[in-house]
Amino acid sequence: MRQLYIGGSWTASTSDESIEVANPATEEIIDRVPAGTPGDVDAAVQAARRAFPRWAETPAAERGKLLGDAADLLRQRSDEIAKTIATDMGAPLGFALKVQTLMPATVLSSYARLAESHPRESRAGNSLVLKEPVGVVAAITPWNYPLHQIICKAGPALAAGCTVVLKPSEVAPLAAYALAEIFDEVGLPAGVFNLVSGRGPVVGEAMAAHPDVDMVSFTGSTGAGRRVASLAAESVKRVALELGGKSANIILPDADLPLAVKVGVANCFVNAGQTCSALTRMIVHRDQYDEAVRLAVETARGYTVGDPFDESTRIGPLVSATQRERVVRYINRGQEEGARLVAGGTEQPHERGHYVEPTVFAGVEPGMTIEQEEIFGPVLTLIPYTTEDMAVEIANGTKYGLAGAVWAGTEEHAVSVARRLRTGQVAVNGGRFNPMAPFGGYKQSGVGRELGEYGLEEFLEIKALQL
C-alpha cells in the first residue's frame, strides 16, 4: 500500500485501512492507497503551517524556478503518467497524454512565470497596496481530470507563496502520487506540498473544517461544494469552488450547421462525457432541428467505445460502476419523461468495464430532467427553439453557468449572443480552449476562477499601507 506525503517525507497513515484503486476498463484492482484520518490531516496542516512563513518569504524567482523544474520533469515523464491516468480513470491514451498530462504541464509552466511577473504592489493615492499569500490552502480535487485539477490549484497557490495540503480523489489518485514524487525530486521544501489520500466525508471534511487552514479550493459536485462551503464558513475561510455544469451549445440559423454539430458532439463526449464544462445541451432552430438530429446521430455512431490503450478508441469506460449506474438512471429517466432515444442507450457494449455507448436524445423540452441535471456521461440532448431570445432563455434556464458555446454566420453575431449568456466561458464559432483564460462559473457552478493570472489572484490577500 502507498503512503501519505507529509512534511517532505513519505509517511504511514494513522489508519491501517486502505482504499482499492480499480482499472475501470478491466475492473481489476491495480493499487491501494491509505484511507486517511483527521489525525493525518492535522499532521499535514501543521507541516504546511510550519513551512508557510519561509515559503512566503522565498524570492519569487526561486519559487518560479522550482515550479518550472517540476513542469519540465512532468513533461519528461508524460508518457508514464498518461499511462497511469488511462489505467486508473479510463481516459483514452492519446487524450490522457495530450489533455490530461501535457496541458497540466503547460499550466504549471505558466505559474512558474507568473510567480515572478505578477505584480504584488501598486499605489492608490497615499496607499501602498500589497498582495500577499493567503496562507495554508486545502485543495480537494476530483477524479475526472486527476492531474489537471491539482495543477489548477497547487500551481497558483505555490506560485503565490502559499503552502498546500492536497486530497486527491480516492477513485483515481495515482497521478497525484506521481506529482508528489516530482515535487519531492525537484527539492520543494518540506511541508510546502502535502498529500493525504482518503474519502471526502473523512479527509475532505477535516480539511475544510480545520482551523489552521486559511483557504479551501474545491472541485466537484455542487452538492459536495455546498458542504465544503458550510464547513469552511465556521472559521470564515476563503473558499473557491469549481462545481457542476449543464452547458448549452446554441446553433443559430446562419451558422455552419454540419461543423457546429460535429464539434458540439465531440465536446459533449470528450473524456466519456465526464467533463463539468461539456456542451451537453445542443440548442437548434426548429427549422434545422431534424437535420441536426440526423447529423448528431451520424457523428455519435463514429465514436468507438473500448479499451483506453486501443488507438481506435474515442470513448473509454466511465470511472466506476457507481458512475455508470448514475448515467444509466438518467438515460432511463429521459425515456420515461418522453424524450426520444435516437442513439446509444443502456446496453453494456463490452463484457467487462464500466462502458456506456455515446447516447443522443431528441424531442427534449426545457425542464426535463436530462435537460436540467448534470449527467456526467456521454449523453447529448437536442432542444429546439424558434427565436433567438428563446434560445438564450433556454441556455440560461438551469441552475448552472459554467460554460457554453454559440455558433453563427459571423463572429459579431455570435459574440452578441454570447454576451447574453450567464456563464463563465463561451466558445465562439469553435474557439479553442485557452488554458491561460479564467475558468469558473456563474450561479451554482461555483465561486472564483482558475487558470492564468485570475487563478493566481484567488490565493492572494490584499493589504493597504496608508503612507
Neighbours of 238 (CB within 10 A): 18
Q: Is 242 annotated in the active site?
A: yes
Which residue among the candidates 276, 371, 374, 450 is catalytic per the annotation? 276
Which residue among the candidates 242, 357, 371, 374 is catalytic per the annotation? 242
Q: Is 276 annotated in the active site?
A: yes
CA 178, CA 169: separation in Å to the nearest integer? 14
Residues assigned a catalytic role: 242, 276
